[in-house]
A and B are shown apart, each in its own frame.
Chain A
Amino acid sequence: MSINPNISILIVDDYRTMLRIIRNLLSQLGFNNVDEATDGMTALKKIGEKKFDLIISDWNMEPMSGIELLQKVRSDENNMSIPFIMVTAENKPENVVKAKEAGVDNYIVKPFNAETLRGKLVSVLSKQAS
C-alpha cells in the first residue's frame, strides 16, 4: 500500500532526543511534513491551529500526558478521527488496555526501530484509508 508522503504528522515527546530520532526515522521513511511538541498541552494547541493526519505521542509528559492528550483529541469532534500512535516505555498491560480504551490506534514500546515504526504507520494509515 502506498502512503502519501506529504501527510502532516505531529510528534510529541518531552525528550528532544526522542523527537529528533523519530523525526529522522520518519524522514528516512519519506515523511518530511513533521511538527513537534514537547508535551500534551503544546500539542493540543498545535492541533487546534493545524490539521494533522497522524499523531505520534509519548505517554509520560508534564503538564499534560500522552493519554490525556489522546482523550482530549478523541473528545474533540473536529479531531476525533486523527490516527494516534502511542510510543512509550510504558509497557504495563494495564496501560496498553487503558490506551486502547481511550481510542489509541496503535502502541509502540520503546526502544523501537525504524522497521517497527514503518509497520505501525502502514497499519494505522491503511486502516484509516479503508
Chain B
Amino acid sequence: MEDRIGKLLLDRLEEIRERGEGDVKLKDVGEIVQELITAIQEEIDGNKEIFDFVSSISDEIISMKSDIMSGYGENEDIQMVSARLASVTESTEKAANIIMDSCEAIQAMLPQLGNEYLAEQMMRNCTKIFEACDFQDLTGQHLTRVMKSVSTIEDIVNKVINALDIQIEAPAAQVDRLALEASAKELMNGPSVGSAPSQEDIDDLFDNA
C-alpha cells in the first residue's frame, strides 16, 4: 500500500516539476491530497473485503463449533469430547479383554470335552472370536485420528480468530494438548479406510518392490 501511494505522490510532484511552473499551487496540493485520499480509500476497501470474507469464514466455523459442542452441554469443550473418545477406547479394550478371557477359558476346557470334532469346531470359532477382537486396536486408531483432527481444526479456528482479533462471546475452548498428544502417541497413524489396499495387493507390491 505504502509503495503505491508513495509512487503516486512522487509522480504528481514530478509532473508539477516538469511543467516548470515554479511554486506548487494550492490547487495542485488539493488535487494531490484528493488523489491520495482516493487511493488510500481503495486500499482500505480492498482490505476490508478480505477482512469481511475471512470474518465470515470465522463466524461459520465458530457457529459449526457451537453446533458440535451443543450436544455436549454448556460447560463441555473439545477436551471433554476427546476424553469421551478416549473413554470409548478404554471401554472397548475392557470388552475385548473380557471376550478373550472367556475364549481362553473355553479353549482350556476343550481337551476335556471328549469329542474331538466338537472340540475342533469350538477351537475354530474361538480363533474367529480372537481375530475379531482386533476391532479394539483398529477402532482405537480411528478414534485417535478423529481426536487429532478435532484438535487441528480448533487450532486453525483459534489462529484465525486471534489473527483477526475477532471478539466472540465465549472464548474458544482450549484443548488440553498434553492429553491429546498422550492419546495420539498411543497410535499415531490409523488404519486406512475406503479403498485401502488388501493383503493381496500388499503381497503383490511386496513381491515386486
Contact of B198 with A by CB under 8 A: yes
Contact of B149 with A by CB under 8 A: no
Bound complex: CA of A42 vs CA of B188, how far in Å? 18
Look across to chain B and name the residue whose beta carbon is closest to the beta carbon of A114: B127
Contact A96 B209 (CB under 8 A): yes
Contact A15 B140 (CB under 8 A): yes
Looking at the assembled complex, report how far the CB atom of B26 sits from the nearest CB atom of chain A, in whole angstroms: 72
Stretch from A47-55, A76-84, A87-95 forming part of the interface with B: A87-95
* B: contact size bracket: 35 or more
Total A residues in contact with B, Cβ cutoff 8 Å: 32
Residue from A17, A62, A92, A93 in contact with B134 in the complex, judged by beta carbons closer than 8 Å: A17
For A97, the chain B residues whose CB sits under 8 A away are 205, 209
Contact B199 A116 (CB under 8 A): yes
Stretch from B12-20, B38-46, B93-101, B172-180 forming part of the interface with A: B93-101
Contact B206 A17 (CB under 8 A): no
Q: A91-B202, A107-B202, A108-B199 are in contact. Are A100 and B127 (CB under 8 A)?
A: no
Residues of A within 8 A of B (CB): 14-18, 20-21, 24-25, 28, 59-60, 62, 89-93, 96-97, 100-101, 106-114, 116
User: Could you show 9 A-B contacts with beta carbons less than 8 Å apart?
Assistant: A20-B97, A20-B133, A62-B185, A62-B188, A89-B138, A93-B205, A107-B206, A111-B131, A114-B130
